[in-house]
Amino acid sequence: MATKIAPTALVSDNAKLGKNVIIGDYAIIGDNVAIGDNTEIMHHSTIDKNSTIGKNCKIYSYAVIGTDPQDITFNSDDETFVEIGDNNVIREFVTINRGTKKGGSYTRIGDNNYFMIYSHVAHDCQIGNNTQLVNGATLAGHVEIEDFAVVGAFSSVHQFARIGRNSYVGGYTIVLQDILPYAKISQTRDNYNLYGTNSIGMLRNGMDREYIHKVRDLFDIFFKSDLNTSQAIEKIKEKFDKSEETEILIDFISKTKRGFLKTFGK
């Protein structure tokens, strides 16, 4: 099937469209936009300037990608960008902003992600692969989301916070600190709770039970002992052989700037 552009769509003369691309009615494709093979841009959606969309993506109606960042210090003369990988699903009314020069100029999204209705990705966010933003999930600027993480419905993530790989953030949670890899957290009316490991998500993503049990043991040292973070890391190094699980957790914690959620739920 050849590339198909609806007669009512507005496509910039310098946009680059791959093979078998579909552009729906009243869609707008701006300057310096590149769209990969087999990607569909549905009716009334907007891909603004300096945006790259990978292969096999589906962008639903009224999504808006690549517009100016919502940053009052942004200079409209700055050249900034959005890069989106392959096999992403971007549902209705999703908004994804370009980066800022001071934040590195790029908002980046990897492969195989699912952005549900009304979710928002702000300037300079860095999102990995196989993540999910559920309806109304909102990321402030400079947020990092690692592979296989899920951000629940109507949750908000503070700028510069990080969501670790294979973690799960329950709906209506306000994330003010980093969320450790493999963690399952939510916010009730009165407090935040870390409910241990995201075991179900880890199983679904191909991790075996031995791996999951190892992560649980690591969490017990971090959260159920009387040790502070530095002491917990030292105990883990002493007790456990070097492994993927331990290295991922220690590396993540060593890079935190906002601290990480430590309150354990009942």
Among 36, 141, 152, 170, the one annotated catalytic: 141
Give yes or no for a contact between 233 and 221, defined as CB atoms under 8 angstroms apart: no
The ranges assigned to domains in the chain are 4-142, 200-254
What backbone torsions phi and psi does residue 136 show, to the nearest 5 degrees? 75, 5
| Euclidean distance between CA atoms 158 and 172, whole angstroms | 13
Which pLDDT tens digit goes with each residue over 124-133? 999 999 999 9
Handedness of CA 179, 180, 181, 185 (dihedral sign): negative
What is the second-level CATH architecture of the domain 200-254? Answer: Up-down Bundle (1.20)
Question: Which CA distances in Å does 46 have to 92, 127, 135?
Answer: 11, 21, 19
> Is position 141 annotated as part of the catalytic site?
yes
| From 123, 142, 164, 178, the catalytic residue | 123
What pTM does this model have? 0.94
Query: What's the topology of domain 4-142?
Result: UDP N-Acetylglucosamine Acyltransferase; domain 1 (2.160.10)
Q: Determine whether 124 is an active site residue.
A: yes
Express each pLDDT in 239-265 by its tens digit: 888 889 999 999 999 899 988 887 655
pLDDT at 266 over 60: no
Q: Over the stretch 132-173, which tens digit does the pLDDT of each residue have?
A: 999 999 999 999 999 999 999 999 999 999 999 999 999 999
Residue 206 designated active-site: no
- 45-84 pLDDT per residue, tens: 999 999 999 999 999 999 999 999 999 999 999 999 999 9
Which of 48, 86, 111, 124 is flagged as catalytic?
A: 124
Confidence of residue 2 (pLDDT cuts 50, 70, 90): confident
